[in-house]
Structure 1
Amino acid sequence: MNKHLLRSQLRKARRALTSSQQQQAAVAIYSQILHQHTFRSAKNIAVYIANDGEISPHLIARTARKLGKQVYLPVVQRDRLRFRIAPAGAKMWRNRFQIPEPLPKYADVPGDCLDLVLMPLVGFDKWGNRLGMGGGFYDRTFACNHLRPKLVGLAHHLQEVDSLLVDNWDIPLDAVATDRQWLSV
């Protein structure tokens, strides 16, 4: 199946989840992440603001801040991402995709300054291949980083597929956390 059709089907499936199912999934993924050494040892963590049925990392971000970790959000800059510090209650504006980003008054850093990046995805397979929204922002951001952070995709279990066709520019994940399991790759 081509990426465009698969992306459309998986996005539709995750958007069909009820508010209650989304909340349960956010709690389940929170439990998965909290017990991982990758999270416990990280000092600088990037999360995202859930959009389009993505599983929400808001509980993870709140706990990270309570533990004294710095939490960052992605900021679109041309065709790549930078990561801007996002303290609790940070003032936001909407980017060209209508996704909230912290205002420029907050410091931003390149991806290689992070320890852990929790990233959204549309689909994934057991080999750590990720199907995103199709813009390639995460792939371009981490393509040249030799000291890149741990990349962990967050997903509902229904977003897993048997295998994904990958392009030579696709950056694989180090792990995937779902509402049912932690998959190290």
Structure 2
Amino acid sequence: MSSIERISELAGSGPALLAADADWPTIRDWRRKIREKLIAQRVAISAEDRSAWSETIGRALTAALEPYASSLIGFYWPFRGEYDPRGVLTAMRERGSRLALPVIVERGQPLVFRLWSPGSLMVQGIWKIPMPESGEAVFPDLLVVPLVGFDGQGYRLGYGGGFYDRTIAAMPVRPRTVGVGFELGRLETICPQPHDIPLEQIITER
């Protein structure tokens, strides 16, 4: 059985183990367990598969961003085996896009996005993820959002901090959203809650 089949079997059976009226603490605990397994699978992707899958994702992401070549695009610095979008986004910058990276100012609060370009001075933020050292807050027109897991309704399983849901909800104008990740993160459902905001588009190697 392939790694994708193993994680699909795990992910697909998980929600069925939850009662239909499961409360949020129960769902949160289930998400934590699924999250840990998905991250472990993602980190363990072979170099050959990662390269091939990333190339496919890159082509699809480039096509999805084509209409936003003159826009302000928020993206992410890759972490714990995530797909690396930097090559695609740097190419978008050369075509006229402005780019921004997220900054965690405080836990439980929305992210702040700051402009980024190659050569920007970076510092380590929470979880040691690089972020721009300074700059005024900006509001991207489109967000490229990393995925740990996702379902067919566009709901995203992240790291459990709720940062993206909180940020999207708080923005003065809701940005377009494109989730990016590997197909092994596909779930039958993430058991969405009222605070979960579905993404408009999800891109994987498939």
Calculate the TM-score normalised by the size of structure 2.
0.80
Structure-to-structure mapping, 1:59-98, within 5 angstroms: 59-78=87-106, 79-98=109-128
Give 1:137's aligned residue.
Answer: 163
Q: Does 1:50 align with 2:56?
A: no
Q: Is the 8 A contact 1:34 1:40 kept in 2?
A: no
- The 1:7/1:85 distance shift into structure 2, 3 A limit, reads same
Contact 1:122 1:155 in 2 (8 A): yes
Larger radius of gyration: 2
Contact 2:101 2:113 in 1 (8 A): yes
Displaced runs of 4 or more, over 4 A: none
Cα distance, 1:24–1:90 mapped onto 2, change above 3 Å: farther
**After superposition, where does 1:1-185 map in structure 2 within 5 Å?**
1=14, 2-36=30-64, 38-42=65-69, 43-78=71-106, 79-104=109-134, 106-109=135-138, 113-145=139-171, 147-180=173-206
- Alignment coverage as a number of residue pairs: 175
SS at match of 2:78: coil
8 Å CA contact retained: 2:68, 2:97: no
**Mind listing any 5+ residue stretches in structure 1 that lack a counterpart?**
181-185
State the distance in 2 between where 1:159 and 1:47 align. 19
Question: Which of the pair is proportionally richer in strand?
Answer: 1
Name the TM-score, length of structure 1 as normaliser. 0.88
Q: Is the 8 A contact 1:122 1:159 kept in 2?
A: yes
Identity fraction in percent: 33
- What's the secondary structure of 2:128's corresponding residue? coil
Amino acid at match of 2:110: R
Task: Find the residue that maps to 1:20 and give its secondary structure.
Answer: helix
CA shift for structure 1 position 96:
2.2
- CA deviation digits over 1:69-127, x for unaligned, max 9? 001111111122011111112121101221100111x3431xxx311100111100111
What is the CA distance between 1:23 and its match in structure 2? Answer: 2.8
Task: Find the residue that maps to 2:193 and give its secondary structure.
Answer: coil
CA distance in 1, matches of 2:157, 2:137: 26
Tell me whether 38-47 or 120-129 shows the greater mean CA deviation.
38-47
